[in-house]
Structures are given as C-alpha cells and as structure tokens.
C-alpha cells in the first residue's frame, strides 16, 4: 500500500465517527488506517471496533493511557507503507488530501508534504487559516531562534516518508508537547518540505489547547528543541524536556482565544464564548471589556 495513516485517540467518541468518515472518503484509496486507542474510557473502543469490523483497512491497537507522543511512536512503528500520514480525532481531511499530497513525493527530494489548514471552533465556526511556504518553514526550522520559529501549518496535516522518519529518529517520548517540531527539525536536514496552498485539512481548536499555566513550559520546550538542533547537551536537554509539566484542563484561556478569533471575524457567536469564559472566571477583565464594548 502507499500510505499508513496514524491517528491516536483518547476519549474521542463525540467526534470520532465524523473523523473516520472523512478519512474513508479519500479519493486515494490505497491506504491503511492505524488507530491507537490510548486507554479511552468512553465509547471510543466500541466505535473503533465497529468501523474495523466493516473496513479491513482499519487496524485498531489498544494500550493503557500513555499520552499522545507514545501513542504516535507505537502507531508509526506499526506503519507498513512507504508514506505516513498523520490525522487527529476531531479533525477532517478534504477528500483530495491524500491524492494531492501523494503527488508531491514524485520529487525524490521531498521528505514531507503538508497543507494549508483551517482551524475551527468545536462547533465548526471558522477561526483562522494558516498557510506557509514549505521552503520557508524548513529554513526556519533549521536556522531560526525560538522567537522567530515557523513550522508547517499543522502537525496532523503532515505526510512524510517512512524511511526519513526512521532516519531522523522518529518522535521522542521525552516531548509530551512539541513532539512534532522536534521531529520536523531533524527531518528538515534530510530533504525538502512542501506545503500545498489548498485548504486540505480542517483542525478543531479545543478550549483546552491553551492553558495559561503551560505557556512558559511550551516556550521552554521550543528552546530545548533548538538547543538540541544546535548541538546542545542531548542527555541533559532531553532529561529536562521529560520533566516539564504541561498543564491541561483549564479552558478559560482557550475559550477567550476562540472568542477573540470570532470577534475579529465579526461573528455573533463570539459573545457566547465570552460568556463561557466569564462563567469559568468571573474576574476575566478582558472578557468583560470585550462584552461591554463589543470590541
């Protein structure tokens, strides 16, 4: 087969069927889907089992909860195709995504192909679109500082060569966040990146994606990745990365971020997210100002 799709799922029952349907609707049919159930406690296992019973291209691998990075390591180790495509539960791919990205690898110098990505709210409202030039992203990953770093538009929009993934050393379990950027930096040394201009991937932005308590840790992760790139002390840096605690669960910053994106697009639903922000934190003064001024 041409493509191994790797998707990690943890308690994704709400959006899992729509994600699976978007993958199965691809015009390029020569692929397998490796779904890693990372210890889900909701209906995820039964949904995956039902789809796997119906579609033999789907392989489900269950494991005790170990986090996204270890789930991706497991999935990529199981990949049998020459190309690996990422996908996240809750997201959707355009039907032509695999076909268009596959064409990029006709150039033997290309090791990774991604696409412009639409980011939407949990209700499907457009928040923003990220596009980037592939050569610009690769050059930034190889040379820029953390303050100026530019990567591909989104991690799960990526498709990459399996042999390049292995040659680069794969995902490193020490990175609970930033595992994609760490991998892209090492893969950038091996060949070209292409980012297709078409919006072929739609990623759902969840309020828990941003946590005020984890911002400092996220910035430090980026600094560690670039220090490793620039020949820093690998053992010490990886040990520090493994110790960094990135907090999840505080939805207030994410709800406010969604509200601001929708307000910038003049969407009337922005107010709904501002209200949800204030329900979680009645003292969020920026949300109050936005509600009172309409700005």
Same domain, 112 and 258: no
Q: What per-residue confidence (pLDDT) applies to 213?
A: 47
Find the range with the poorest average confidence among 80-89, 183-192, 247-256.
Answer: 247-256
Convert the pLDDT of each residue in 225-279 to its tens digit: 999 999 999 999 999 999 986 666 689 999 999 999 999 999 999 999 999 999 9
Q: Within 13 A of 46's CA, how many CA atoms are on the CB side?
A: 5
Are 174 and 267 members of one domain?
A: no
Contacts of 17 (CB under 8 A, 6+ apart): 47, 51
What's the pLDDT at 248? 67
Residue 132 to residue 34: CA distance in whole angstroms = 28
The better pLDDT of the pair 218, 41 is held by 41
Total domains in the chain come to: 2
* DSSP structural state of residue 284: -
Quote the pTM value: 0.95
Q: How confident is the model at residue 98 (pLDDT cuts 50, 70, 90)?
A: very high
Residues 172 and 259 in one domain: no
In degrees and rounded to multiples of 5, residue 236 shows phi and psi of -65, -40
Nearest to 130 by CA among 93, 155, 103, 96: 155
Q: What is the CA radius of gyration of the chain?
A: 19
| 271 and 213 part of one domain | no
Pick from 98, 90, 79: which is nearest to 20 by CA?
A: 90
**Domain co-membership, 197 together with 146:** yes
215 and 287 housed in the same domain? no
Contacts of the segment 164-172: beta carbons below 8 A, 24+ positions apart: 164/111, 164/112, 164/190, 164/191, 165/76, 165/84, 170/73, 170/76, 171/69, 171/72, 171/73, 171/76, 172/69, 172/238, 172/241
- Which CATH number do you get for residue 191? 3.90.550.10
What tens digit of pLDDT does each residue of 119-150 get? Answer: 999 999 999 999 999 999 999 999 999 989 99
Tell me, yes or no, whether 225 and 188 share the same domain.
yes
Q: Do 224 and 258 belong to one domain? A: no
How much is the average pLDDT of 28-51?
A: 98
Residue 241 within a domain: no
DSSP H/E element including 136 = helix 134-143
Looking at every residue in the chain, the average pLDDT score rounds to 95
In a domain, 244, yes or no: no
> Taking the mean position of all CA atoms in its chain, how far away is CA 119?
11
Average pLDDT over residues 57-64: 98
CA 187 distance to own-chain centroid: 17
Q: Do residues 219 and 265 both lie within one domain?
A: no
Residue 122 lies in a domain: yes
Is residue 183 located within the same domain as residue 93? yes
State the residue range of the domain holding 197: 3-229
Locate the DSSP E strands across 122-232.
126-130, 159-161, 192-204
Does 234 map to a domain? no
Domain co-membership, 273 together with 213: no
């Amino acid at each position: 087969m041409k493509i191994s799709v790797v998707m990690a799922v943890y308690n994704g029952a709400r959006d899992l069927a729509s994600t699976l349907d978007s993958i199965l609707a691809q015009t390029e049919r020569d692929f397998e889907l490796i779904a890693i159930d990372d210890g889900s406690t909701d209906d995820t296992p039964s949904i995956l089992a039902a789809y796997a019973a119906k579609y033999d291209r789907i392989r489900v691998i269950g494991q005790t909860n170990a986090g996204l990075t270890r789930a991706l390591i497991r999935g990529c180790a199981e990949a049998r195709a020459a190309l690996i495509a990422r996908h996240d539960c809750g997201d959707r791919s355009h039907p032509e995504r695999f076909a268009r990205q596959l064409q990029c690898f006709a150039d033997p110098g290309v090791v990774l192909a991604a696409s412009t990505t639409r980011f939407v709210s949990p209700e499907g409202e457009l928040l923003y679109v990220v596009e980037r030039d592939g050569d610009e992203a690769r050059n930034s990953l190889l040379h820029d500082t953390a303050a100026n770093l530019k990567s591909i538009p989104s991690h799960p929009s990526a498709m990459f060569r399996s042999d390049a993934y292995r040659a680069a050393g794969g995902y490193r379990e020490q990175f609970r966040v930033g595992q994609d950027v760490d991998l892209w930096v090492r893969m950038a040394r091996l060949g070209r990146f292409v980012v297709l201009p078409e919006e072929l991937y739609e990623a759902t932005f969840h309020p828990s994606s941003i946590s005020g308590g984890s911002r400092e840790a996220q910035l430090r992760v980026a600094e560690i990745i670039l220090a490793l790139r620039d020949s820093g002390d690998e053992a010490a840096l990886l040990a520090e990365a493994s110790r960094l605690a990135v907090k999840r669960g505080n939805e207030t910053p994410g709800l406010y971020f969604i509200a601001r994106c929708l307000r910038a697009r003049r969407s009337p639903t922005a107010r709904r997210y501002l209200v949800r922000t204030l329900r979680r934190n009645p003292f969020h003064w920026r949300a109050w100002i936005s509600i009172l001024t309409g700005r």
